Amino acid sequence: MTFTAPVLNYAILSPMLIVLAGALIGVLVEAFVGKALRPIVQLILTVATLLLALVQVFRIRGSESLSAAMGSVVFDGPGFLFQAAILIISIISVFLIADNENFTALAAAIPGSAEEQAAIQQGNKVTEVFPLTLFAVAGMMLFPVSSDLITLFVALEMLSLPLYLMAGLSRRRRLLSQEAALKYFLLGAFASAFFLFGAAYLYGYSGDVTFSGIRDSVVGGSGNDIFLLIGIAFISIGLLFKVGAVPFHAWTPDVYQGAPTAVTAFMAAATKVAAFGAMLRIYYTIFANAEWSWTPLLSGIAIITMLFGSFVAIAQRDVKRMLAYSSIAHAGFLLAGVIALNKAGLAASIFYLFAYGVATVGAFAVVTLVRDSAGEVTDLNRWTGLGKRSPWVASVFAFFLLAFAGIPLTSGFIGKFSIFSAAYESGAQGVVIAGVLSSAVAAFFYIRVIVLMFFTDSHEDATTVVIPSVLTRITVIFSFVITVALGVYPAPLIDFINKFATFIR
């Protein structure tokens, strides 16, 4: 028996390898570096790793390969864009994660126990969160460039498992946080099982686990259509779960609320890019020729997701829950880009993902600033009069909300316009109209928060805004600047995306 050595294209894999190496070094740092030095070492290591990976991604941006790792990884324009977007968003959110106010001192300790007290007094910090972040980032980067079902599944788990853990690390209200972790984990594993089952049927349909093989079978149309339909349906369930589309959204509000806000920011922004990245690749390449089987259903899901997210968000009294439902609505808008199934749709989706991701990180970063003596205050009723007490923080938050609402001169508007026009172009006018209407509904609750902050006089148990630490300030300023820049002059980024937004098959 001969053994053929696998051929790996290291140049193309290098960004992911860098992140993984950084993560592993991070684990070693946990083991060998003293407690006092650990946070700063980890932060520098993480940021350096991500920056290095980003540079490397940009260096290989022109290259295309269908078989970077024996046909398991594909690298092309969109793959580059997804990876770059994930890295940029991660870099911005790492600064927020590094703000140690957000995490528990000792995750294993029972909440309220003496053990925990001791850990707090010793100044313990869960620096594990940095390598966990890096592992998740590596998974996210792999997810949209996988080109066979095995890699796709491994990447899915690789991005999910660290996030499950990170969701449980909140410093305050730890029971809530642990509960969020449990819910996220159980539902996430449930969705993975669906995903895997779908993958099995796609394999059964085509006899091949690579995307190109499956695509050939779909184009040829020779296999058993029932297998294909089961495969598409179950894989879609798994992906729709990850992006938080209705009816697979149940975890979103709970996890967004319970998880430490810094993790929520990272998760909400970066996971969306990764999951939609994979979704776009799968639907645009392997399922494109079976359009008849999924477009109607996905359009329905998109419409329901937009409307549900917008309407339910109105009833929310908690900032993080409100942002969670708003993210559900945005998932609906993004699905319109998937349905569009044209180049404009792909480019628009990538722009939207990036713009939305950055604004989301910024908005959650502001949420971490609003506190009282017991920690973050997410109850909207206690945000009243924030505009009076700290006009800058409130104005920045209002700006992010306007971006979510899609008011012109913010990045959200350009994103919305491009994604809706792509969907309209492909003939999905119904989705566009639903999108426009739900934008109107969504505007209502965004504006309600602005009213609370600026036009309502504050109660006695008012919250204070802590003076942002340098790290959080970096996050907020970066996200704000990007959101403004993309709203006022998005042309360079749009051109850049257009240049790369073509999947190779």
Partner 1 sequence: MNISLTLLMALPLLGAAVLAALPKTNGVLAKQIALGSTILVALATISMAIGFERDNVNLQYVESHPWIPSFGINYAVGLDGISLVLILMTTLLAPIVVLAGWNESQNGRWSTKTFYILILVLEMMAIGVFAATDVFLFYVFFEAMLVPVYFLIGGYGTGERSAAAVKFLLYSLFGGLLMLASIIGLYVLSGAQGGHTFDTQALSQLQMSSTTQNLLFLGFFIAFAIKAPLWPFHTWLPDAADSATPGTSVLLLGVLDKVGTFGMIRYCLTLFPEATKTFTPIIITLSVISIIYGAFLAIGQKDIKRLIAFTSISHFGFITMGIFAMTSQGHSGATLYMFNHGFSTAALFLVAGWMISRRGSSTISDFGGLQRVTPVMAWAFFFAGMSSLALPGLSSFVSEFLVLVGTFTRYPVAAVIATFGIVLAALYILIPVQRALQGPTTAGNENLPDLTLRERVAIAPVVVIILFLGFYPSPLLKVINPAATHVISQMGFSDPAPTQLGGK
Partner 2 sequence: MNAANYLYISALLFTIGAVGVVVRRNAIVVFMCVELMLNAANLAFVTFARINGSIDGQIMAFFTMVVAACEVVVGLAIIVTIYRSRRSASVDDASLLKR
| Binding stretches for partner 2 (CB under 8 A) | 107-108, 110-111, 149-150, 153-154, 157, 161, 164-165, 168, 174-176, 178-183, 185-186, 189-190, 192-194, 196-197, 199-201, 203-204, 207-209, 253-254, 257-258
Peptide bond into 247 cis (omega under 30): yes
C-alpha span between 285 and 279 (Å, rounded) = 10
Rounded least distance, CB 415 to partner 1, Å: 12
Question: Candidates 131-139, 203-211, 363-371, 404-412 — which segment interacts with partner 1 by CB under 8 A?
Answer: 404-412
Query: Which of residues 56 and 316 has its CB atom nearest to partner 2 in the complex?
Result: 316
Report residue 456 CA to chain centroid gap.
33
Rounded least distance, CB 401 to partner 1, Å: 11
Query: Which of residues 311 and 454 has its CB atom nearest to partner 1 in the complex?
Result: 454
For residue 127, which of 45, 187, 69 has the smallest C-alpha distance? Answer: 45
By CB under 8 A, the residues from 323 to 352 that bind partner 1 are none
| Residues across the chain | 505
Task: Write the CA distances from 344 to 61, 152, 308, 487, integer angstroms.
Answer: 20, 25, 26, 18
List the structure tokens of 245. Answer: 């589309």
Residues in Cβ contact with 54 at an 8 Å cutoff, skipping those fewer than 6 apart: 15, 84, 87, 88, 91
- HSE-CB of 82 using CA atoms within 13 angstroms: 33
Residue 51 binds partner 1 (CB under 8 A): no
C-alpha span between 349 and 415 (Å, rounded) = 8
Question: Candidates 103-111, 150-158, 297-305, 415-423 — which segment interacts with partner 1 by CB under 8 A?
Answer: 415-423
Rounded least distance, CB 154 to partner 2, Å: 6
If phi over 0 gives left and psi between -120 and 50 gives alpha, with beta otherwise, what is residue 75? Answer: beta
Task: Write the CA distances from 121 to 117, 125, 373, 466, integer angstroms.
Answer: 6, 11, 18, 22
Neighbours of 467 (CB within 10 A): 10
Residue 231 binds partner 1 (CB under 8 A): no
If phi over 0 gives left and psi between -120 and 50 gives alpha, with beta otherwise, what is residue 379? Answer: beta
Rounded least distance, CB 151 to partner 2, Å: 9
By CB under 8 A, the residues from 451 to 480 that bind partner 1 are 451, 454-456
Choose, by CB under 8 A, the member of 115, 225, 461, 495 that binds partner 1. 495
3-state SS class at 35: coil
Residues facing 362 on adjacent strands: none
Residue 437 binds partner 1 (CB under 8 A): yes
Rounded least distance, CB 310 to partner 1, Å: 12
Rounded least distance, CB 130 to partner 1, Å: 38
Residue 432 binds partner 1 (CB under 8 A): yes
Report residue 274 CA to chain centroid gap.
6
C-alpha span between 228 and 167 (Å, rounded) = 35
Question: Candidates 73-81, 82-90, 246-254, 490-498 — which segment interacts with partner 1 by CB under 8 A?
Answer: 490-498
C-alpha span between 443 and 414 (Å, rounded) = 16
Rounded least distance, CB 56 to partner 1, Å: 27
Q: Which does 26 bind (CB under 5 to 8 A by kind): partner 2, partner 1, none?
A: none
Rounded least distance, CB 52 to partner 2, Å: 26
Question: Candidates 151-159, 246-254, 280-288, 445-453 — which segment interacts with partner 1 by CB under 8 A?
Answer: 445-453
Question: Candidates 14-22, 105-113, 386-394, 470-478 — which segment interacts with partner 1 by CB under 8 A?
Answer: 386-394
DSSP secondary structure string for all residues of 157-181: HHHHHHHHHHHT-BSSSHHHHHHHH
For residue 252, which of 161, 356, 301, 324 has the smallest C-alpha distance? Answer: 324
DSSP secondary structure string for all residues of 116-144: HHHHHHTT---TTHHHHHHHHHHHHHHGG
Rounded least distance, CB 420 to partner 1, Å: 5
Amino acid at 347: A
Query: Which of residues 325 and 413 has its CB atom nearest to partner 2 in the complex?
Result: 325
Query: Which of residues 101 and 148 has its CB atom nearest to partner 2 in the complex?
Result: 148
C-alpha span between 288 and 216 (Å, rounded) = 11
Q: Which does 154 bind (CB under 5 to 8 A by kind): partner 2, partner 1, none?
A: partner 2
Residue 489 binds partner 1 (CB under 8 A): yes
Q: Which does 407 bind (CB under 5 to 8 A by kind): partner 1, partner 2, none?
A: partner 1
Q: Which does 433 bind (CB under 5 to 8 A by kind): partner 2, partner 1, none?
A: partner 1
Q: Which does 189 bind (CB under 5 to 8 A by kind): partner 1, partner 2, none?
A: partner 2
Query: Which of residues 58 and 227 has its CB atom nearest to partner 2 in the complex?
Result: 227
Residues facing 103 on adjacent strands: 170
Residues that bind partner 1 (CB under 8 A): 387-388, 391, 402, 405, 407-409, 413-414, 416-418, 420-421, 424-425, 432-433, 436-437, 439-440, 443-444, 447-448, 451, 454-456, 489-491, 494-495, 498
